[in-house]
Structure 1
Amino acid sequence: MSLTFYTFIATLVALAVYRLSKVGRRPVGYPPGPPTLPLIGNLHLMPKEKAHLQFQKWAEEYGPVYSLILGTKVMIVLSSDQAIKDLLDKRSGIYSSRPDMYIGRVVSGGLRMLLMEYGGTWRMIRKIVHNNLNIKAARTYVPYQDLENKAMLVGFLETPDLFIEHIRRYTNSLTTQMIFGFRTTSIHDPKLKQLFDGFEKFSKVTGTQTAALLDLYPLLRALPDIALPLRRYAKKLHEKENELYVGHWLNVKQAIKKGTARPCFCLDLVRAQDEEGFSDSLAGYVSGSLLEAGSDTTAATLVGFIQAMVLFPEVAKAAQEELDRVCGTRFPTLDDEPDLPYIRGCVKESMRWMPTDILGVPHAVIRDDEYMGYKIPKGAGVMWNVWAIHNDPKRHPDPRRFEPARYANDHQTAAEAANNSNAAKRDHFVFGAGRRLCQGMHIAERSLFLAIARLLWAFDFHTARGANGNEIIPDAGDLTEGMLVQPKPFQARIVPRNSDKAARVESEWSQMVDLLDYNLQWKVPPKGLIWKEYN
C-alpha cells in the first residue's frame, strides 16, 4: 500500500481521536456549570434521586443560567423567572421544541403531545385543543366541576382514609366528561386505576439513568431488547397505554358516528380526523394525553394541599375563618372567589409549594442563540428549574413554609400571571411557558379553587396517630421519583368540622343525584356546552 493511503488512515484516526477528546468538555462561551470529565461530561454528577435538590444547589453556585454537559448533549438550565421570560416566552419561536426523549417516545409510540417536537402535527393538535380548552370554553364546564366536587366531598365524609382515591376520581371524572362524555363514578373503576398507575410508570421510566444514557448516546439504541430491559418494559407500557387510550377513543368515535354520543371534545377530534386523515392511534393519544393531564397533575396538587393542611394547621384555621365570614352555612361557589383572597392564595401556594413538574419538561432550541453573553447551541435541551425558582428565598422568603398570604395582593389568574410582562410578578411556573403553556390552566385553576374552598369549609385536617397514640407526621420531602412528582402516600385524619356541615355535604350531593340516571350519568347534559353536533 502506498504511503498516501497510510497517511490518509492516520489522518482519519487523528481526526477521530481529536473529536473524541472534545466529547464531554464544556466549549468556550457556554454558560458555566460543574467541572466535566472526558467523554461523559457531567454524567457522573447526575443524581439518582431527588434531582431537584441538586439542580437547586447548582443554581445557587453557578447562577440563573448554567449548563450541564451530558456526553454528546448539552442541557441549559434556567433558574430564574427572568431567564424563562426572556427565552421560553419572548423567544418562543425557537425555544418550543422538545429534545429527543427516546424511552418516552417508545412508551408513547411517538404520539404523546407532551413530548412531540414543534412542527405541523403539534400545531394542528394544539389548535384543536385550544378550541375546547380556551377561557370561553372553560366557563361552560362549571356544572361538571360542581357535580364532581360534591361527589368527592361525600367520599371524604364516608371513607376519609381513601382521600387520595377520592381526589383522583374527582379530577378524572371531570376530565372524562369533557373529553369523552361520561362520568367515572367509582374510585374502584379499573380504567381509573390503570390511568394513574400507567402515568406514574411513564413518569418514572422516563426519569431513569438508562433512559438518559439512551438519549445521550444514540448508538446504544442499536442493542437488542435482551440487552435493554428498560426498552422491553417501555414497549409493554405502550401496549397497555395504547389499549386504554385508543380504546376510549374508538368507543366514543363509534357513538359519535351513530349520533348517540354526549357532547365532548372528541366531537371536534372526529371532525378533524375527517378533514386531516390522521390515524386512530394519534387521535387516541391526543384524547388520552388530555385525560392524563387533566387527571394527574390537578390530583397531585390537591394531595400536596392536604399534606400542607396537616403540617400547617394555622393556615387551615385562617382559611376557615375567611370561609365562615364570607359563606357562612352555604357552600362556597366560584362566584365567591373575589371575596376569598386567602383561598385564592391557597390555590397559588399549593402549586408553588408542591410543583408536580418539579424540573419542568425540557424544551429544545432549534437554532444557535445567545443570552447574557453565553452561547446556546442549536439542539440543546433547555430546562426550566421550577423547584429552584419556587424555593428562591429572595423571591419567596422562608420558601418551605406554606404561606398563602404571599399572594395577598395578587389578583391575577394563572394565565394573566404567565403573560405578565414583569417576570417577577408571575405566581408560579407549574403550567409551563411560551408556546408550551398549558391550555387547560383555566379549568385546573377553577377545579383547585372549588376543591380547596369546599374541603376547608367542610372538614378539619389532623395528623394521624399510630397504635401507640403517637403522631404520624408526613414528610414533605418524601416525593415520588420521575419527570412528574407528588407526595408519596401518607396518612391523615380528616373529620367533618361539625354535624351541620356533614349534613349539608350529604344534602348537596342528594340534589345532584336527581340530575343523574341509574348509572350515575347525566340524564341531560348541562346547558351551555360549546361543542357542535357532528354531521
Structure 2
Amino acid sequence: MLFAVLLCLLAALLTFIVSCRSSQSREKPLPPGPSKLPVIGNVHQVPRLQFWKTMADFVDRYGPIVSVKLGQQQLIVLGNQTIARSLLDRKNTKYNSRPHLRVAERAWLGPMVALMPYGPEWRTYHLMQTAVLSSRAVRLYDKIYSTETTQLLHDLLSTNDYPPRIYRYSSGLAYAVAYGMRMPRGDEFEISEINEIALKFFLAAQPGYWSVDDFPFLRYLPGFLTPWKSYAAHVNQIISDGFQRAYSNALQRDSWSWARVLAEQETLRALPKGSISFVVGELWAAAHFSSSNMLVALIRLILYHPEEVQRAQEELDSTVGVQRLPQLADLDNMPYVRAFIREALRWLPSSGTPHASTEDDEFMGYRIPRGSMVVPHYWFVDMDSDVYMNPLKFRPERFVNDPKLPLRTFGFGSRICTGQYFAQNSFSMVIMRLLWAYNIRFPDYVDTEAEPIGQLEARIFTMNEKPTEAVFTPRSGAHRELIEQAYASLDSVDDALKPLQSIKVNIPKSF
C-alpha cells in the first residue's frame, strides 16, 4: 500500500516536472542580448557610470530590442522609434508605470510624478503639474521667456564663458515661474542649491548604478553595509529643506507663481503636508536640469553646422530685421527656423526615465515579462533610419518638407514629459534669439578637426563632457545696441508674470 502511494507521488512529481519543462519550451524567448552569468546576469558588463553608452553598444550589437539582466532586474532596451511607439504608445496601459529605483525613492521622500507608479495618486499629482504647464497655459509665458532670454543675450555681450550664463538662464526662468522671484546675478544661493539637488538626485536615480536596485534583498542589510542609505538620507535632507524653504518664501511674495496658485487650491488642502512643495520643486529641478544640459549641447551643435545656421539667420533677418528682438509669434512666419529648432531637439535627446511593464506581454515573437524595466534609448529613437532619411545628418529641411515628422524627445504614452510645451517654447526662444543676435564660432586656437563630427552623438547624449569653447560676436552694432536697450528696459518680475494670472487652475478632489 505504502509502495503504491509513493509510486503515485513519484508519478505526480515527474508529471509536474515534464509539464514545467514543456511549458518552458513553449514559452517565447526573451529578446536577444549579451550572455548572462548565474545570479548577477550582465552586471559585470555594465560599468556604473556608463549605463547609456553600454546600452547603446548592446543595441548596435544585438538589434533594436535587447534583453539585459542586471541581477534580479530584467531590462528590455528599445533601440528604434517604431518599436518604442508600438510598445509605449500603442500598448500604453501595459507600460505606463515606473520601475522601483530604491535609492531615488529614499532620496525623495515626497510625491514625484516622474518616478511614481501609475495609479490614482499619480493622476492627482500629474494633474497639478499639467494645470500650469498645459499647451494652453504656456502661451501666457511669453513675457517671462522674453525677460530671461534678453538677459542671456546681454550677459553674452561681455563674456564667451557661456555655460554659467545658460545655467543662470535655465535656473532663473524655472525659479521665477515656480516661486515668483528672478535670479538676475547667477551667483544666488538658490542657483547653486538647485544644481546640487539636480546632480545628486540624478545620481540617485541613475539606472545600473546602485547594487540595491539590481538586488533588492540588499536593502535588509545593516546600515554599515549599505552606504547608499546614508547617501539617500543626505540627498533627502537637501531636497526637503530646499523645496520647503523656496515654497514658504514664495507664499510670502505677492508675485504669481506655481507655488502660490497651487497653494490656493481648496481641493489640494487635504494632501499630505509638504506635498505641494515637492510637486513644485520637481518642476523647478526638472526645468533647470534638462534645459541647461540641452542648451549647453546646443552651442556645440551650432558650431558644427555653420551653413544651416546661416540659412536660419537669413530667415530671421528677413522676418524680424534689427528693429526688435524675435518673439515666439515670429515662428509662424519662419518655416526654416521652426525646422532648425525641431532638428536640434531631435539631436539633443535626454536620457529619459525608464518605463515598467505591468503585465506579461509578447512582441515580435519575444516575451516581455511583467515587472521588466523597459528602456527607450532616445539616441536611437530619434536617429531611426526608418523614420528619418539620413538620420545622422543635421538637416532641418527634413521638417520643412514634412512638418508632420514625429519627434519623440519628450517621451511616450501617458508618461510623456509634463513640461514638454514649456521646455519647447523656452528652447525655441533661446535658439531664435541666439541665432538672431550672435555669430557663434570656434576660437581661432581650437583645432576643429581634432574631434570629428562622428563623435558628436555620444558627447551630446551623455551630457557630461567639458563644453566646447566658443566665441560669441554680435552680428552688428545695431544688434548690440538693441540688446542693450532691451536689457535696460527689462520688465520687473511682477510685470513679466502678470499674464499668468489668467491661468485657471481647477483641480477636482480625487484623493
The answer to whether TM tops 0.5 is yes
Which amino acid letter does the alignment assign opposite residue 390 of structure 1? D
Report if aligned partners of 2:359, 2:371 keep a CA contact under 8 Å in 1.
Answer: yes
In the alignment, the residues of structure 1 paired with residue 172 and residue 214 of structure 2 have an alpha-carbon distance, to the nearest angstrom, of: 39
Tell me which residue corresponds to 1:177. 176
Q: Give the conservation status (yes or no) of the 8 Å contact 1:267–1:531.
A: no
Task: Look up the match of 2:316.
Answer: 323
Who is 2:167 aligned against? Answer: 168
Match of 2:376 among 375, 384, 398: 384
Number of aligned residue pairs: give it.
484
Structure 2 segments unaligned to the other structure (5+ residues): 1-26, 507-511
Counterpart amino acid of residue 369 in structure 1 = D
After TM superposition, give the deviation of residue 398 of structure 1 in Å.
4.9
Distance in 2 (alpha carbons) for counterparts of 1:395 and 1:89:
16
Match of 1:289 in 2: 282
Question: CA contact under 8 A between 1:179 and 1:266: conserved in structure 2?
Answer: yes
Deviation at 1:52, TM superposition (A): 3.1
- Equivalent of 1:304 in 281, 287, 297: 297
Cα distance in 2, alignment partners of residues 154 and 385 from structure 1: 37
3-state SS of 1:230 partner: helix
Q: 1:83 to 1:135 in 2, by over 3 A?
A: same
Q: Which runs of 5+ in 1 are unaligned?
A: 1-26, 413-424
Amino acid at match of 1:234: A
Q: State the Cα distance separating 1:101 from its structure 2 match.
A: 0.2
The 2-side partners of 1:271 and 1:93 are apart by 33
Q: Report the CA distance between 1:247 and its aligned residue.
A: 1.2
Q: State whether residues 319 and 343 of structure 1, in contact with CA within 8 Å, keep that contact through their aligned partners in structure 2.
A: yes
Paired-residue identity, %? 28
Q: Following the alignment from structure 2 to structure 1, what is the Cα–Cα distance between the partners of residues 450 and 483? A: 28
Check conservation: 2:51, 2:207, Cα contact below 8 A: no
The structural deviation recorded for 1:293 is 1.6
CA pair 479-234 structure 1, distance change in 2 beyond 3 A? farther
Counterparts of 1:290 and 1:223, CA distance in 2: 34
Look up the match of 1:441.
420
TM-score (normalizing by structure 2): 0.86
In the alignment, residue 286 of structure 2 is paired with which amino acid? A
**2:212 aligned partner, one-letter code:** L
1:335-484 mapped onto 2 (5 Å cutoff): 335-357=329-351, 360-412=352-404, 425-427=405-407, 429-466=408-445, 476=456, 479=459
Residue 400 of structure 1, CA deviation:
4.2
Is 1:495 matched with 2:467?
A: no
What's the TM-score once normalised by structure 1's chain length?
Answer: 0.82
Q: CA deviation at 1:287?
A: 0.5
Distance 1:472 1:80, change over 3 A: closer
CA distance in structure 2 between the partners assigned to 1:176 and 1:273 by the alignment: 24
> Which residue in 2 is equivalent to 1:149?
149
Q: Distance in 2 between matches of 1:434 and 1:209?
A: 24
Task: Give the C-alpha shift of residue 316 in structure 1.
Answer: 2.0
Higher relative contact order (CA 8 A, sep 6+): 2
Matches within 5 A, 1:28-43: 28-43=28-43
In structure 1, what is the Cα distance between the partners aligned to 2:75 and 2:480? 52
Whether the 8 Å CA contact 2:84–2:381 is kept in 1: the answer is no
| SS at 1:262 equivalent | coil
Instruction: Report if aligned partners of 1:263, 1:531 keep a CA contact under 8 Å in 2.
Output: no
Question: Separation in 2 of the partners of 1:175 and 1:291?
Answer: 5
Tell me, yes or no, if the aligned pair for 1:41 and 1:69 is still in contact at 8 Å.
Answer: yes
Deviation, 1:50, is: 4.0
Per-residue Cα deviation, 1:256-304 (whole angstroms, up to 9, x for no partner):
xxxx532222234224475452234322211000011222212221111
Any idea what the Cα deviations from partners look like across 1:372-421, whole Å, max 9, x if unmatched? Answer: 23222211111111112223445445544433223222435xxxxxxxxx
Kindly tell me: are residues 275 and 455 of structure 1, through their superposed partners in 2, closer, same or farther at Cα, counting changes over 3 Å? closer
Q: Note if contact 1:464-1:471 (Cα within 8 Å) is conserved in structure 2.
A: no
Number of the residue aligned with 2:326: 332
Q: Residues 4-83 of structure 1: matches in 2 within 5 Å?
A: 28-83=28-83
Instruction: Provide the C-alpha distance between the structure 1 equivalents of 2:115 and 2:171, rounded to a whole number of angstroms.
Output: 22
**Contact 2:70/2:208 (8 A) holds in 1:** no
Q: Which of the residues 218, 221, 226 maps onto 1:220?
A: 218
For 1:477 and 1:387, locate their aligned partners in 2 and report how far apart those are by CA, in whole Å. Answer: 8
Counterpart residue type for residue 511 of structure 1: S
8 Å contact from structure 2 (residues 76, 375) kept in 1? yes
Change (3 A) 1:533 1:249: same
